[in-house]
């Protein structure tokens, strides 16, 4: 059994170098790898291509990497909560590839399954389809979308064990399991790290075979993008 446990986020991201393609799990600010993002900011790694459902907010999540201009390209499905992202996009400082959310998830899944590509109806007849191969199945047109090629996948789980098995809690079980399968090197930060054998096998969402490094994180803020309450 390979030793997968590392001391901290700095150790986990030690070989993420300039120009790397990195998947980052999370949905909005839920289930994002807060510690690893902060470590990347401190390390100063630049020219990153980030594959993530969204770009965080101005002062949190991937927004921290955008603020320091460490991101060269964002591949995302939703980017509406980040003013700095908008500024960099409109000024031409940032490359952006917007992808339908289901296509983003399916391309992650294809990578994890060892599939080179998928066909999807999402985006047919729109700007998303420009320059892409199409094919008809049963009279319906589909786009050919290629699986992602990422150097690293960074995910955040609620609980994990020393073999790398992961359990995600509630909404944090979003893009995290798909991306965990898709990285050449997958890094997992967890709120609680337990010895192997303590997790119920029936509750494990990501088997440890997909995880290369794991550590117990700390000081999770778990912010909410927009607090919405009902009037009583």
Summarize pLDDT for 153-210 with one digit per residue, the tens: 999 999 999 999 999 999 889 999 999 999 999 999 999 999 999 999 999 999 999 9
Strand, helix or coil at 138? coil
CATH class, range 18-117+148-216: alpha beta
What pLDDT does residue 168 have?
A: 97
What is the pLDDT at residue 226? 76
Task: Give me the pLDDT at residue 221, please.
Answer: 83
Structure tokens at 136: 């008809």
The two tokens of residue 86 are 């908008």
Q: What is the pLDDT of residue 192?
A: 97
Q: Are 85 and 50 in contact (CB under 8 A)?
A: no
DSSP 8-33: SHHHHTTT--TT-EEEE--BTTBT--
The dihedral built from the CA positions of residue 212, 213, 216 and 222, taken in this order, carries a sign that is negative
CA atoms within 13 A on the CB side of 103: 22
Burial of 5 per CB tally in 10 Å (0-12, 13-18, 19+): middle
The pTM assigned to this predicted structure is 0.92
Q: What radius of gyration, in Å, describes the C-alpha atoms of the chain?
A: 18
Q: What CA–CA distance (Å, rounded) separates 30 from 11?
A: 23
Segments of the chain with pLDDT less than 50: none
For the record, the structure tokens of 16 come out as 């993420």
For residue 230, the model assigns a pLDDT of: 85
Return the pLDDT at 12.
Answer: 98
Which one, of 171, 168, 179, lies nearest residue 204 by Cα?
A: 168
Structure tokens at 229: 């309450």
pLDDT at 1: 60
């Amino acid at each position: 059994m390979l030793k997968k446990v590392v001391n901290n986020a700095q150790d986990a991201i030690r070989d993420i170098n300039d120009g790397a393609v990195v998947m980052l799990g999370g949905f909005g600010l839920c289930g994002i790898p807060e510690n690893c993002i902060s470590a990347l900011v401190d390390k100063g790694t630049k020219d990153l291509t980030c594959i993530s459902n969204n770009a965080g907010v101005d002062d949190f999540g991937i927004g921290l990497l955008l603020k320091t201009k460490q991101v060269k390209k964002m591949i995302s499905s939703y980017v509406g909560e980040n003013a700095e992202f908008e500024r960099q996009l409109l000024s031409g400082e940032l490359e952006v590839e917007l992808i339908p959310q289901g296509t983003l998830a399916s391309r992650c899944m294809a990578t994890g399954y060892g599939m080179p590509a998928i066909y999807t109806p999402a985006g047919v007849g729109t700007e998303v389809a420009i320059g892409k191969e199409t094919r008809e199945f049963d009279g319906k047109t589909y786009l050919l979308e290629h699986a992602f090629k990422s150097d690293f996948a960074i995910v955040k789980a609620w609980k994990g064990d020393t073999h790398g098995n992961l359990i995600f809690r509630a909404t944090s079980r979003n893009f995290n399991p798909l991306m965990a399968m898709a990285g050449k090197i997958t890094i997992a930060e967890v709120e609680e790290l337990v010895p192997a054998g303590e997790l119920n096998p029936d509750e494990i969402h990501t088997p440890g075979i997909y995880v290369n490094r794991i550590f117990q994180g700390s000081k999770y803020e778990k912010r909410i993008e927009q607090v919405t309450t009902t009037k009583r």
